[in-house]
Amino acid sequence: MIRTARVCLALVVFAAPAAAACGKEGSPPVKGPAADRLPEYRVAQGFRLPDSPTWKRAEKRGYFVVGAKEDQPYLGQRDPATGTYSGFDIEIAKMMSASLGLAPGTVHFRTIASANRETALQNGQIDYYVGTYTINAMRKKLVGFAGPYYMAGQSLLVRRNEHGINGPQDLDGKRVCSAAGSTPYQRIQREYPKAVLVAYDTYSVCVDNLLTYQVDAVTTDDAILIGYAAKAPRELEVVGRPFSKEPYGIGVPRGDNALRFALDDALEAREKNGDWKKAYEATLGLSGVPAPTPPAIDRYPAS
Ligand code: GLU
In sequence order, what are the residues at sequence separation of 6 or more whose Cβ sits closer than 8 angstroms to the Cβ of residue 275? 39, 41, 95
Residue 105, pLDDT above cutoff 50: yes
Distance between CA 104 and CA 137 in Å, rounded? 30
208-221 mean pLDDT: 98
pLDDT digit string, tens, across residues 148-174: 999 999 999 999 999 999 999 999 999
User: What is the structure's pLDDT at 303?
Assistant: 87
% the chain with pLDDT above 90? 85
User: What is the structure's pLDDT at 8?
Assistant: 35
Q: Which domains does the chain have, with CATH numbers?
A: 50-152+247-287 (3.40.190.10), 154-244 (3.40.190.10)
- Between helix 88-99 and helix 275-282 the angle, nearest 10°, is 150
Computed over every residue of the chain, the mean pLDDT equals: 90
Atom of ligand 1 nearest to the CA of 69: 9
Residue type for 191, please?
Answer: E
pTM: 0.90
Residue 4, pLDDT above cutoff 70: no
The half-sphere exposure of 301 on its side-chain side, counting CA atoms within 13 A, is 0
Residues linked to residue 176 through DSSP beta bridges, in sequence order? 197, 217
User: What is the structure's pLDDT at 44?
Assistant: 98
Cα(237) to centroid of ligand 1, in Å?
Answer: 19
183-209 mean pLDDT: 98
Q: Is the CB of 150 under 6 A from ligand 1?
A: no
Residue type for 300, please?
Answer: Y
Provide the pLDDT confidence category of residue 288 given band limits of 50, 70 and 90.
Answer: confident
28-40 mean pLDDT: 65
Pocket probe mutation, ligand 1, options 185, 224, 243, max atoms within 8 Å of Cβ: 224
Q: Which residue has the higher pLDDT, 21 or 104?
A: 104
User: What is the structure's pLDDT at 24?
Assistant: 33
Cα of 132 vs its chain's centroid, Å = 3
> Which residue's CA lies nearest to atom 9 of ligand 1?
132
pLDDT digit string, tens, across residues 41-87: 999 999 999 999 999 999 999 999 999 999 999 999 999 999 999 99
180-186 mean pLDDT: 98
In sequence order, what are the residues at sequence separation of 6 or more whose Cβ sits closer than 8 angstroms to the Cβ of residue 96? 64, 128, 130, 250, 263, 266, 267
Provide the pLDDT confidence category of residue 28 given band limits of 50, 70 and 90.
Answer: very low
Distance between CA 134 and CA 246 in Å, rounded? 5
Residues linked to residue 198 through DSSP beta bridges, in sequence order? 177
Residue 17, pLDDT above cutoff 90: no
Q: Is the CB of 202 under 6 A from ligand 1?
A: no
Q: Which residue has the higher pLDDT, 7 or 273?
A: 273
Cα(184) to centroid of ligand 1, in Å?
Answer: 7
Q: Which residue has the higher pLDDT, 24 or 121?
A: 121
Q: Is the CB of 85 under 6 A from ligand 1?
A: no
Among 119, 120, 77, which Cα is nearest to 223's? 77
Residue 301, pLDDT above cutoff 90: yes
Residue 23, pLDDT above cutoff 80: no
